[in-house]
Chain A
């Protein structure tokens, strides 16, 4: 007679190389049959030591790093870091520069969300939306490429403004793109949002309550999907955002579907912001007049927060009156967002786990820094 097995659970190792972990995330799953008893994310496979690097270079030298922390929404990270340093040295940014920052950051946000939709649907097993999303995304990259000079890891903002003005061709391009993307919403609706397979896989899965959001410090679409209207652009207005009229889409149930819908609606709001900014674009300089060549802030500290595509990015700089920062802490959104994973993936199926993990929209080098 066969002895019954003592252990009921077994360990399943997901990653670090796995197509649906969005890079190099490893999750150790303790399974009981098809169900997950415990998920233990093991991060750090993309750890590049940004914070250590910051202490070894001066303020300007660290700027290119910001494009590489969260490469999908690089301009928001540029923005947060520039804002923090500008606060630290007391630099005013001209209005036109703020407008250009808003326009480019919002374009970048759409690109980031589009990539998420494509890659997430790829996780769920749909290949076509990936091609659609990348097609649209390439249009944004063309626009940004023209003025920033790169496709992905932008280093476009400077302390005190932006180095490059936008021209008529860029403005026309943005308007044409907005028109084009609005026509595509119907395609996305038919292809994804109304797709019965997609609905079945996302409705009621991975539910996060408001209280859980608060205890884990979730921000961005993760919190908004659960019905918390927390968006730094509104709740702690920075740059030129108070001048524009836009809404914060929120979800009701806090499931994957809501997070998806929040991101889709956010893209529409971003288009609105871009169009308003283009309409109101003021003339004037794009760089503050008295930008010190050598940035040597007085001793002190500053915390500046911006809204990235994934949530709140907070840049905490401590200066001791040196040309190098004493410490830079990057409060990255995905770090907190991912820390809830063990909680929400308990007692789910592996297939759902992949859906939940994708819906967090993790960028692993951003978590690991």
Chain B
């Protein structure tokens, strides 16, 4: 079983959580929580296990970002989600040297959330114009939200 193998391979990394997921409910076979600086090691394990990077995105919460990595496998049905909590204002290490496909995903996350990836070869905006000065998917918590509401009303 692939999920067992991944679990075993991830063992030595000392991750926060490696647990089987509820596939019927969430669509995950394996749920992993890691620190952002463990991500290159996790990605290397996933690459050695033959998985591909399905998607990479981020979530913006009040205190922190959460980087969400999805991995899947071509031959065997096994979707692994890896979540890395990143405090606001910090940088995450890139995994684009392990998965070249992550290059664009990381650029997208930088573009939409403003998260910088250290070691990324080419961290430019990808979707918005290069001269844009905002990151659209950042949540506007309270005071900012009020400001934008009054702006829209005026």
- Do A51 and B101 contact each other (CB < 8 Å), given the known contacts A303-B28, A316-B55? no
CA separation between A327 and B139, bound complex, in Å?
10
Contact B59 A44, beta carbon cutoff 8 Å? no
When C-beta atoms are compared, the residue in chain B nearest to A215 turns out to be B100
- Which of A57-65, A102-110, A126-134, A331-339 lies at the interface with chain B? A331-339
Q: Does B27 contact A (CB under 8 A)?
A: yes
Contact A44 B54, beta carbon cutoff 8 Å? no
Contact A217 B52, beta carbon cutoff 8 Å? yes
Identify which of residues 98-114 in chain B touch chain A, using a CB-to-CB cut-off of 8 Å.
Answer: 99-101, 103-104, 108, 112
When C-beta atoms are compared, the residue in chain A nearest to B125 turns out to be A44
Contact B127 A43, beta carbon cutoff 8 Å? yes
Cβ of B100: which chain A residues have Cβ within 8 Å of it? 215-216, 339, 343
A side interface size, CB within 8 A? 41
Cβ of B79: which chain A residues have Cβ within 8 Å of it? 303
Q: How many A-B residue pairs have CB under 8 A?
A: 96
Contact of B59 among A214, A228, A326 (CB under 8 A): A326
Q: Does A368 contact B (CB under 8 A)?
A: yes
Identify which of residues 291-331 in chain A touch chain B, using a CB-to-CB cut-off of 8 Å.
Answer: 300-305, 312, 314, 316, 318, 326-327, 329, 331
Q: Does B9 contact A (CB under 8 A)?
A: no
Q: Does B2 contact A (CB under 8 A)?
A: no
When C-beta atoms are compared, the residue in chain B nearest to A230 turns out to be B74
Contact of A214 among B60, B68, B74, B125 (CB under 8 A): B74
Contact A302 B25, beta carbon cutoff 8 Å? yes
- Do A336 and B101 contact each other (CB < 8 Å), given the known contacts A214-B74, A303-B70? yes
Contact A217 B101, beta carbon cutoff 8 Å? yes
Contact B137 A300, beta carbon cutoff 8 Å? no
CA separation between A169 and B139, bound complex, in Å?
49
Could you give, for residues 59-94 of chain B, a 1 whenever the CB lies within 8 Å of some chain A CB and a 0 otherwise?
110000000101000110101010000000000000
CA separation between A129 and B82, bound complex, in Å?
46
Contact A214 B50, beta carbon cutoff 8 Å? yes
Identify which of residues 24-68 in chain B touch chain A, using a CB-to-CB cut-off of 8 Å.
Answer: 24-28, 47, 50-55, 57, 59-60, 68
Contact B68 A316, beta carbon cutoff 8 Å? yes
Contact of A301 among B26, B60, B112 (CB under 8 A): B26
Cβ of B19: which chain A residues have Cβ within 8 Å of it? none
Cβ of A326: which chain B residues have Cβ within 8 Å of it? 59
Cβ of A316: which chain B residues have Cβ within 8 Å of it? 55, 57, 68, 70
- Do A44 and B52 contact each other (CB < 8 Å), given the known contacts A52-B136, A314-B70? no
Contact A217 B74, beta carbon cutoff 8 Å? no
Contact A215 B52, beta carbon cutoff 8 Å? yes
Could you give, for residues 252-284 of chain A, a 1 whenever the CB lies within 8 Å of some chain B CB and a 0 otherwise?
000000000000000000000000000000000
| Nearest CB on B from A209, distance (A) | 13
Cβ of B81: which chain A residues have Cβ within 8 Å of it? 303
CA separation between A215 and B77, bound complex, in Å?
18
Q: Does B13 contact A (CB under 8 A)?
A: no
Cβ of B54: which chain A residues have Cβ within 8 Å of it? 217, 312, 314, 331
Could you give, for residues 28-53 of chain A, a 1 whenever the CB lies within 8 Å of some chain B CB and a 0 otherwise?
00000000000000011001010110
Cβ of B51: which chain A residues have Cβ within 8 Å of it? 214
When C-beta atoms are compared, the residue in chain B nearest to A223 turns out to be B74
Contact B77 A235, beta carbon cutoff 8 Å? yes
| Sample of 6 further A-B pairs with CB below 8 A, known A52-B137, A335-B108 | A49-B136, A223-B74, A228-B74, A302-B26, A316-B68, A327-B60
Name A's B-contacting residues (CB within 8 A): 43-44, 47, 49, 51-52, 55, 87, 213-218, 223, 228-230, 235-236, 300-305, 312, 314, 316, 318, 326-327, 329, 331, 335-336, 339-340, 343, 368-369
Q: Across chains A and B, which 4 residue pairs bring their CB atoms closest together, nearest first?
A: A216-B101, A331-B55, A44-B127, A303-B27
